Amino acid sequence: MLKKASKVSRLGSSAMRNAAAGLTLPFLLSACAVGPDFFRPKAPENAGFTAEPLPATTIEAAPGAPAGAAQKFVSGAPVTADWWSLFGSPQLDTLVAEALKNSPTLEAADATMRQAQELYESQFGALIPSVDGSFTQSRQKSVNSFSGRATATAPYSVSTAQVQVSYAIDIFGEARRAAESTKAQAERAKFQKEAAQLALTANVVTAAIQNAALRAQIQATEAVLDALNQQLGLLRRQLELGAVAEADVVTESVLVAQTQAQLPPLQRALAQNRHLLLALIGRYPSDALPGETGRSGFDIGSIRLPETLPVSLPSQVIDQRPDIRAAEAALHAASADVGVATAEMLPKVPLTASFGTTSNDIGDLFKSGTGFWSLGASVLQPIFRGGALLHQKHAAQAAFDAAGAQYRGTVISAFQNVADALRALESDAAALKAQTEAERAAASNLDIAKNAYETGATSFLNLLDAQRTYQQARVALVQAQANRYADTAALFAALGGGWWNRPDNDPSNKPRKAEDAQ
Q: Give me the sign of the Cα torsion angle 199, 41, 188, 117.
A: negative
* Integer Cα distance of 14 and 141 in angstroms: 35
* Nearest-angstrom CA–CA distance, 467 and 448: 11
CA–CA separation, 415 and 426 (whole Å): 17
Distance CA 342, CA 34 (A): 7
Question: What is the rounded CA–CA span in Å between residue 208 and residue 271?
Answer: 12
Contact between 12 and 357 (Cβ < 8 Å): no
Contacts 24+ apart (CB under 8 A), 175-178: 175/123, 175/126, 175/127, 176/30, 176/33, 176/127, 177/33, 177/34, 177/35, 177/336, 177/337, 177/339, 177/340, 177/343, 178/123, 178/126, 178/336, 178/340
Q: For residue 144, give every residue at least 6 positions away whose Cβ sits within 8 Å of its Cβ, in sequence order, or none.
A: 150, 151, 152, 153
d(CA 500, CA 512): 11
Q: What is the residue-level pLDDT of the chain in tens, covering all 518 positions?
A: 334 334 334 434 444 444 444 444 444 444 578 999 999 998 887 778 887 888 899 999 888 888 999 999 999 899 999 999 999 999 999 999 999 999 999 999 999 999 999 999 998 888 889 999 998 988 887 776 655 566 666 787 888 889 999 998 899 999 999 999 999 999 999 999 999 999 999 999 999 999 999 999 999 899 889 888 888 888 898 888 888 888 888 988 998 999 899 999 999 999 999 999 999 999 999 998 886 655 556 888 889 999 999 999 888 999 999 999 999 999 999 999 999 999 999 999 999 999 989 888 888 888 888 888 899 999 999 999 899 999 999 999 999 999 999 999 999 999 999 999 999 999 999 999 999 999 999 999 999 998 998 888 887 778 888 888 888 899 999 999 999 999 999 999 999 999 999 888 776 666 765 445 44
How many other C-beta atoms can be found within 10 angstroms of the C-beta atom of residue 130? 11
315-366 tens-digit pLDDT: 899 999 999 999 999 999 999 999 999 999 999 999 999 998 988 888 888 8
Strand pairing partners for 151?
A: 144
pTM (predicted TM-score): 0.84
Neighbours of 268 (CB within 10 A): 11
Residue at 418: amino acid letter: V
Structural domains in the chain, CATH included, are 35-128+173-345+388-517 (1.20.1600.10)
Residue pair 425/53 in contact (Cβ under 8 Å)? The answer is no
What amino acid is encoded at 417 in this protein? N
Backbone φ, ψ for residue 30 (5° rounding): -100, 45
The percentage of the chain sitting over the pLDDT mark of 90, rounded to a whole number, equals: 59
Report the number of secondary-structure helices (H) and strands (E) in the chain. Answer: 11, 8
